[in-house]
Structure formats: structure tokens, C-alpha cells
Structure 1
Amino acid sequence: MALDWIGFSYAAAIAFGGFMGYKRKGSVMSLMAGLVFGLLSAYGAYNTSNDSKDIKVSLLASGTLAVVMGMRYKKSGKLMPGVMSGLSLLMVFRLLLLLVV
């Protein structure tokens, strides 16, 4: 069983981003969303570690974040939503590549 280090790193980045949103701006919503999506992504990385074709949870979490953060970036033009949207989009492409290969 090979661990999905990229998936776990992505989950940690999501959770850390939510924590930083809370720390810098006092946004409880960022903290909650970061923790929920971070946990979902970590669970998805665990599933992918056990079976490389089991990408449903990871794909749902990263796809949702790519869309939501992309819309936030388009609306505000701020850096963090753009970074999180980009990371999420890369994760979606990686997961789809895992499904094909």
C-alpha cells in the first residue's frame, strides 16, 4: 500500500488555508470550510492510498473547491482564492489521470 502523499499534502494545504483565513481575518466560515474540505480530502487520499481507482471523495472535494474558489477569485481578484482554485484544479487533473492510468 503506497500512501498518497500528494493527496495528504493537498488536504493539509486546504486545512491550513482555512486556519490562516481565520487567523488573519477572523473568518469562522473559512476555518469551518477548510477543516471540512481538508478532512474530506484526507479521507479521499486514504481511499486512494488503498485503491488508486477510488477517487470519488477526492474528486468531489477538489472539484467543488476548484469551482467555488474560482468563482471567488473571479469576483474579488484576490490571491488566496486563485491559489486554492489552481491547486484544486491541478488535483482534479491528477485524479482523472490516476483513473485513466
Structure 2
Amino acid sequence: MHDFCFTIPYGLILVCGGIIGYFKKGSLASLGGGLGTGFLLILAGYLSLQAFHKRKNSYFALILETVCAAVLTWVMGQRYMQTSKIMPAGVVAGISVVMTGFYLYKIASGGNHFPSKAE
């Protein structure tokens, strides 16, 4: 599976979560964090998709995705440990740790693999 297949939906989930957090609790931190990391991940997914269309890998996008997911794992994991609230800290930390592992696997395996051209 290609990184952009998961990165773009992951970014959209974060954007939606930030917006929901703002409207439910009036949290500007939730809005800023959700929009900031979400749009950064969507951008990285888009860059990776564009590189894939050219049959190349975007290691910049992979590293950006990994850093975002690792930072979210750390920050939301700490917040979950302090508050024990499943929503949103536990869920975001859980998703982010899985995505961090996925991105590290993609880096270790050489990025996206391209299907051979059938003639």
C-alpha cells in the first residue's frame, strides 16, 4: 500500500477533529493543532502522490509524514497519560502510533513500489 493512500485520509481526520473540537469546546488549540497538522499531512500526501505519478518516491514527503505522526504520538500520548481521556487524545495517539510505524516501514522498505508496466 502506498503512503498517500493513508496519509490524505489521516490528514482529513485531523482537520475534521480540530474543527469539531473548536465548535464543541471553543478550543483554539484544537483548531490550530488539527488544521496545522492535518493540512501538513494532506500536503505531504499530495506531494507523494505527485511523485508516484512520475514513478518516483518523495522522501521529503515520507519524512514529513513520519515527523508529524511521531510528534502527534508524543503530544497526544502525553495528554492521554495526564487526563486518561480516550477522546480525542487516546484515539489520536493510537492512530498516530500506527501511522508512525507504517511510515517507518515505508522508509525502511525503500518507499512506494511501482507496478511493472504490462505491455
Aligned residue among 57, 60, 65 for 2:67: 60
Residue identity matched to 1:35 = L
Aligned residue among 70, 73, 89 for 2:97: 89
Deviates more, 1:22-31 or 1:47-56: 47-56
Identity over aligned pairs, percent: 29
Q: Give the match for residue 46 of structure 2.
A: 46
Give the gaps of 5 or more residues in structure 2: 52-56, 110-119
d(CA) in 1 for partners of 2:85 and 2:26?
17
More helix by share: 1
Q: Report the RMSD for the aligned CA atoms in angstroms.
A: 1.6
Residue identity matched to 2:89 = P
Q: Give the match for residue 28 of structure 2.
A: 28
TM-score relative to the length of structure 2: 0.77
Query: Which has the greater radius of gyration?
Result: 2
- Report Cα offsets for 1:36-90 as digits up to 9, x if no partner: 0001111221233222544111111111111000000000011110000011111
Q: How many residue pairs end up in the alignment?
A: 100
d(CA) in 1 for partners of 2:12 and 2:6?
10
- Report Cα offsets for 1:20-47 as digits up to 9, x if no partner: 1111111011001110000111122123
Deviates more, 1:60-69 or 1:47-56: 47-56
Contact 2:3 2:106 survives alignment (8 Å): no
Give the gaps of 5 or more residues in structure 1: none
d(CA) in 1 for partners of 2:41 and 2:27?
21
